[in-house]
Every structure is written in structure tokens, then in C-alpha cells.
Structure 1
Amino acid sequence: MAEVRIRNTDERISGEEKVRAFLDSQEVLYEHWDANKLPQELQNKFVLNDEEKEQILKTYDAEIRDLAARRGYLTWDIVALSDATPNLEELLKKFENVHTHTEDEVRAITAGRGIFIIKGTDDVGYFDVELEAGDVISVPENKPHFFTLMDNRQIVAVRLFIETEGWIAHSYSDPQFNK
């Protein structure tokens, strides 16, 4: 289950309903899908071939299509990151800069763990959303944020897009942000 940490106060928010209510107040969509729906052999596998990626997409087809229909997403794929990923450090450097998008950034975590750092309202400031398998998040367009891996450095996620070109980031310089 996702957990939120507000950086200015170090307050932690846990429990699905409390996390959902907080994220809703910050205009961030949060849902939870059944992580156990994924076949056991894929629940802790972070290097995937095309057939395995397709199997994950088929497993969550109903959930993906429901979310896409509600939010206008047109295309989706699988991203898998681990220490076995070529150029992982370069990819993380690209991800780990505060940026915005002209569409929502959507991730449905199917295995592993990751963290979104998101700029909230003025009274909240930046907050971390720690995600694990089953957690689904949609950071709204133009909301400053970035994504990185947790200490275990392993994640598999479904990404959904409106733009058929996929992930396009726009740098966001913010003197209020410190890692």
C-alpha cells in the first residue's frame, strides 16, 4: 500500500483511504489494483522479455482499459527497471530532475517499489509517495514532480499516455526543492 511523507514536516500518511484522500486534495489520482492477480512467476521478476510484458498487460487489461476510458489515455506499455537495466544510472539521472509534462504521468506498479516526489499546494510543499505492487498513481499535467527507485532498485510498471510519442519531460527549476 502506498505511503506519503510530507517533506516539510516529516509527517507520514498511511492506509489506503487516508492516502487517497490526501492525494485527492493534491489533485493526484490514486487507485489500488490487485497485485496478486499477476502470475506468481512475474511478481518478483524485473528483467522481462516481450512475451512477459504482454502477459502483464493482458493480466491487467480490464483495469488498464477502464482507467484509459475514464482519463482519455490512448496507449500504454511496460517499463522494467533494475540493476540489470543497461544505463540504469543515466536513466535515473534523467528521471530524478524535477519536471512537468503536458499530460498526466501515470504508473501502475505491478512489481517492486518506487517513489514519486511531487510538488503539492503551497501549504504542503513537496511530498513523497512511496509505491509498491498494486498502487496506481496519476500525477496531473503541469504538476512538478519526479520519479525514482527505492533502495531495492527494482520496479515494473504499466505506463499510460495520451501522447502516442510517450514520455516527454519539461525541466522545472524550483529553488524550493532540495533532495
Structure 2
Amino acid sequence: MAEIRIRNTNELITGEENVRDFLNQFEVIYEHWDTSKLPAHLQENFALTDEHKAEILAIFDTEIKELVERRGYRTWDVITLSEATPNIEELLAKFEQIHTHTEDEIRVIAAGAGTFVIKGGDDIGYFDVNLLPGDLISVPENTVHFFTLTDERKVVAIRLFVEENGWIAHPYEDASFQKA
């Protein structure tokens, strides 16, 4: 299950309902999918073939179609990042810049872990949403954020998009932002 760390206070928010309630303040959707449906060969595999990615999408087809119906997504894929990913440092440098999008950014963690850093209100500041397998998060359009890997540096995530070419990041300048 996800947990949240508020950067200004180092407060930790745990428990599915507490996490959901906190994120709801910022219109961030949090849900949880059952990743025990994944066969063993996909649960900790961070070097996925196209066939593996298609298998993950097929396994979660019902959940994906429900999201498509509810939220209007038109395309989806599976991304995997790990030390085996070519140009991992360049990709992370691109991801780890605060930005916004003109559509929501949604991820479902299938394996590994990742962190969304999101800007809350002035009273909260930035907070980290640490995600584990099964966690789904949807960061609303125009919300300042970025995604990064945890110290384990490996994740498999399902991404859904309204725009068929994927989201486009719009850089956001914030002198108050400090990397963790």
C-alpha cells in the first residue's frame, strides 16, 4: 500500500483510507489493484519483452476497460525502468523535473516501486507518494508533480493516456522546490 511523506514536516501518512483521504484533498485519485493475479514470471521481472507487456495488459484488461469507461482514456501501455534500461540516468533526469500536463497522469504499479512528488497547497508544500505493487494514482491535469524511482530503482507500471501520443510535460519553475 502507498504511503505519503509530507516534506515540510516529515509527517508520514499510512493506511489505504488515510492515504486516499489525504490525496482526495488535491483531487488525486488513489485506488488499489490486485497484483497477485500476475503469474510468478511477471511479478519481479524488470526486463519485459513486448509479449510480457501484452500479457500484463491482458491480465488487467477488465480494470483497464473500467478506467477507460470512467475516465475516457484512449491508449495505454506498460513501461519498465531499472538499471537494465538503456539511458536510465537521462530518463530519470527528464522525469525528475517538476512539471504539469494538460491531462491527468495515471500509473498503476505492477511490480517494483515508484514515487510521485506532488505540490500541495501553500500550507502543505510538496509531498511524496510512495507507491508499491497494486497502487494506482491519477495526478490531475495542471498539478505540479514529477515521478521518480525509489532507491531500489526498478518499476513496472501501466500508463493510460487520453492523448494518443502520450502526455507532454510542461516545465514548472518553483524556487521553493528542493529535491529530497
Question: What is the identity, as a one-letter code, of the residue corresponding to 1:177?
Answer: F
Asked whether the 8 Å contact 2:102–2:167 carries over to 1, the reply is no
Matches within 5 A, 1:18-167: 18-167=18-167
Correspondence for 2:178: 178
Structure 2: gaps of 5 or more residues = none
Superposed CA RMSD = 0.6
Q: Does the residue aligned with 2:41 lie in a helix, a strand or coil? A: helix
Q: In 1, distance between residues paired with 2:138 and 2:79?
A: 16
Q: CA shift at 1:150, angstroms?
A: 0.3
Q: Take 1:65 and 1:112, find their aligned partners in 2: how far apart are those partners?
A: 23
The number of equivalent residue pairs is 179
Comparing 53-62 and 65-74, the one that deviates more = 65-74
Shift of 1:9: 0.6
Unpaired runs of at least 5, structure 1: none
Superposition deviation, residue 167 in structure 1: 2.7
Percent identity at matched positions?
64
Indicate the larger mover: 44-53 or 68-77. Answer: 68-77
TM-score by length of 2: 0.98
